[in-house]
Each structure stands twice: as C-alpha cells, then as structure tokens.
Structure 1
Amino acid sequence: MERRRGGGGDHGENYTNPFDGDDQVSSADEKEEVAVEEAFKDTKVPSWGEQITFRAMLTSLVLSIVFNFIVCKLNLTTGVIPSLNVAAGLLGFAILRFWTSLLGKAGFLKQPFTRQENTVVQTCVVASSGIAFSNSITFDQISPSSYTTSTFGSKSLVLEFQTPLMILKYKLTYPSGTATAYLINSFHTPKGAKLAKKQVSVLFKYFAGSFLWAGFQWFWTAADGCGFASFPTFGPQAFARRFYFDFSATYVGVGMICPYMVNISLLLGAILSWGILWPIIETKKGDWYSADAKPSSLHGIQGYRVFMAIATMLGDGLFHVIFMLSKTIISLIINIRKKESDQAPGFGDENSKLVKSRAS
C-alpha cells in the first residue's frame, strides 16, 4: 500500500517521509540489542557470591585509587568531570579478562569471568570516584553566612529538578547506567571482545604518550610559575590575566570528550570574565569593595566572581525548568484534545472512509 499526501498526482506518489531515516536507525539499534540479548539467553545468572569475588574486589581497589587521583586532578584543574562509567567498565573488563586468560592457560581457572562481575567492578570504581568528587571543602570555605548557604541550597534544588527535565528536552533514551550495562553486555560477546581489545590498546597508547609528555614538562620545571606550564603564549599582559597555554594534556583530553558547544562556551566565558569583566571591576577597588580585602576573600573581587557565577547558574536552571514545564503542559493539552477528538462519535467512520477514497 502506497503512502500518499496532498491532493494526488506526482506529488503524492513521490512523497517520502522525512522521519524514515530515524526509524531505520532506531530499528537497527533494536536489532543490535536483541542480538546481544540472544547471546545470553541460555546463560545462567550467577549467585551474588559468584559475582562479588576476591579478584573483582582487588581490581576495584586498584582502579578506584587510579580514578580517585584522576578525579582530584580534574577537579582542581579543569573543573569538568566527565562520566567515568564507560572507562571503569572497559578497564575492569580488560584487567579481569587478562587475569582469567592467564589462569585458564595455566589450568587454575575455577570460575569464568562474567558480565555481572564486570558490573561489580564498574559500580565500585564509579562510587569511589564519586566520593572523591563530592567533597564539602569548597562549600565550607565560601558559605560564611546563611545567605550563601540558602543560595547554594536553591541552586542545588534547581539543578536536581532540572535533571529529569533535561532528559526530556534532549530526548535521552536511557541514563548512563543503562548505557554502561548495554556496553558491558557487548564486551562479553565475541564481536564486542575484539572491539574492546582495540579500545584498550588505543587507551594505553595515548596514556603512555600523555605520561611521557607530563614527565618531559616536569623535567623543564624548576619552580612554581616556571616551564611549559606557565609559558606566556599570548604575551605578559595576557599571562597576567591567565590567558596562556600550559601544554597540559588534561585539558586536551577533556576538550575531546566534551561537545564542541561546551568548549566554545568555556572559551567565550573566559574571554568575557577574565578578559573584560574582572579588569573593569578591579578598577572599582576601594569603591565597590574594600581595598584591603584579600583576592580570595568574599568581601573583595572574589565575592563578585562567586555570586555572579551562582546567579548565572540559577538563571540558566530556572529557564530550563520553565521551558520544560511549558513544553510538558502544552504536550499534555495536545494529547488530551487528541484523545477527545478520537473518541468523538462518528469520527472514526468518516476518517476511514476518507482514507479509502484517497487510496482509490
């Protein structure tokens, strides 16, 4: 049966649905998901004692230490902490797969490596690194009054309410935990194991390059503010405003992970704040704020930086809350009206007759 739109003729016959491509992509994803599930349909789910094994706990401990250092480094430098679920699952798979393969060749393997065991490692590593990220040191330093505390409470409330609405706005089909579980399932298939091997190989290649480059930078650093980490790329005046390239592979890696819009917004924000706004506020020293205030004090220029940033986050969060509530209410109204029109008497018969007459 051909699908036609319009009054007929060539326009109707040559009509193509613009959403057919999306349907094909979604159907391909569904087929791939079914194929992965078919690979484990006859596999018995191990008991909890077989999932939480000594080798899984030991691997989790080692990876947790490594990831805690990574999170602390990112938190103190870029401030952008990407999702570590995929990396934890991939490294856990690589380590345990390598260990069990060695035991298998030696004839000492008693229990095979399962996807549930892989999930235990990934969960422990992500939980541990999350604790390292969720510290209260910064909050304690910048909340000397109840006003600051209530401001941070309002910001947290807006962000917590905003999260599920952002999932609806950007049409996120699943959270990161479900995506990681699907990825771990694919690791334990023959095709997925080959892909995971390539991914681990690329990971360690770039890890070695980044490690050697960091060692080279350290070799040429004699003290603080010296070496490649403090290279005045754009001149001494720009360097005084913190506009310089420190040749850190950390920023390069985070920039590769983040979407390009995040990188552009960070660059524009740095130019507007450190290049334009803070120099203007510094000219008001002694007028807008005390001239004796320390640079890190909230009674000085730091207060303008902190509260302007909080106001920006609150405004953005409130906009998305209002936007998503409006979209949700409009969508509910449209669905209710559509159901009422479908349930109207005689509408279904007239509609079916109209479709048959167009088809003929």
Structure 2
Amino acid sequence: MIIDFKLIYPSGTATAHLINSFHTPQGARLAKKQVKALGKCTRSFLRLDLKLIKTTTYVGVGMICPYLINVSLLLGAILSRCIMWPLIEDKKGHWYPADLSPSSLNGLQGYKVFIAIAMILGDGLYNFLKVLGHTLFGLFRQIRMKKPETLPVEAVAGYVIVAIISAATLPHIFQHLKWYHVAVIYVFAPVLAFCNAYGCGLTDWSLTSTYGKLAIFTIGAWAGASHGGVLAGLAACGVMMNIVSTASDLMQDFKTGYMTLASPRSMFVSQIICVSEACYLFGRS
C-alpha cells in the first residue's frame, strides 16, 4: 500500500515530517516558521468561523491529502448534503417510519452510515481483488518456474494460531458468543481490514466503528435475540474492531517508519511488546 499504491496516510506522513525536521540543522528555524504560520492561520480561522477551531484535524488532513482526494470529498459532501439527504428525508413515512429519532439506524442515519460503508467497501474490495489477482498470478508463475517460496507463511500461521486461541477462549468469557461466530469473524476480518487500511491511507479516516456495527448486526441476528444475540453482537464488535483497527494503525506507523528509514520489523516487534505489556497491566488492574 505504501510503495505500490503510494497511499498518503496523512497522520503517519505528518509524524514522519515532524520527526525528520528535528534531526536537521535547519530544524529549529523551520519549526519557528511553522509555529508562526500556524498562528497566522489560526487568527484567519477566527475571523472566518469559530467552528473551524473544532475541526482543525480535518484542516490539517486536507493540507496533506492531494487535490484529487479533497475535491472528491468536497463534491461528495455537496452531493449528499444538498441533494441526497433532503430527497431521502422527503421519503419519511414511505421508506422508513416517520416517528424515529434522528440517530436511529432504521431511518435517515442508517442511509448515511451504510451508503458510506458501501462506498468504502466497494473501493477497498476492488483494490483487494486486484492485489489478490496479482498475487495469485505471481504465485502461479513461481510454481511454474519452480522458484523458492516467498509467501509469508509465518504470518499466515500466526494469524491462524491466534484465531484458534480466540475461538477457544472467547466463548468462555462471553457465554453467548460461540466458537463458530469467532471463526467467521476471523475469516472475513482480513478483507475488511484491507478495505479500512486502504481508505485510511487515502483520507486518514478509520471506519473501525462502522465495521464493528456490521459485526453487531450480523452476529447478533445470527445468534438470535432469545439466545443472547445482543451480548454476542457486542462481543463480536469488539473482536472485529480490534482486528480492523490494528491494520490501519500499523500502516500509519509503517508509513512513518518508511519516511524516517526505520526498520519495519523493529516497529512491528515494538508494537507486540507494547500490546503485551498493556494486556498484562490491564489484566492486573
């Protein structure tokens, strides 16, 4: 994603530029200029609209992302806000009940959430299938030419081992979550993780909570309300969010490491050490 797709990963890129600026002779002078420029921009924002102060993250992401992404987001915002949502809201009472709260997923909010999910999934699945096709083609060529195996077998084996451990232990913690629920989550999670990491690389927006809602609906409906479907769905949401969010977070860190010439293996090992320490500390508390 970083080398072949050349994805931006704005947060990782900004962190890398910040780290690199500290290790150059002109780093201090450049930092002073950047702080002064930020102060001038902040004063300009105060003159324009106080609401911009609450959305400075989006302003920074817009400054890092290319024009194609910014224009696409702007056109999408205009299209949805001015055309799609008013038209769907006019269908109140026909497409969905009229007495629902604005935050209910059975009404207009559901259209907003699931249309966004469909777009991210469509774009991500296209690129996932594209990468999968290239990988299978390369593997087929290697088999025909009898080249040595280059697939990360250790990574696949590690994922399978973690899936088996989760399927064996989680049902003892959450009684309504069955082992086959966890197994299905681990089967589909890599595809959703790829889509989330790809979308995060383009826009710096992680839809982890949105994919967690998908797990709530699917596993909750599968388990059934009479068999603790609510608790099973919430537990499945936690499993799905942990898998999907890890992919986008790691890619952000790898982007930072790529731009700062850090070792990807050392960054991955440090992540494992930190997660292990966190699990131990939270387990003791």
So what's the TM-score if we normalise by structure 2?
0.41
Structure of higher RCO (CA pairs closer than 8 Å, 6+ residues apart): 2
Larger-Rg structure: 1
So what's the TM-score if we normalise by structure 1?
0.34
More helix as a share of residues: 2
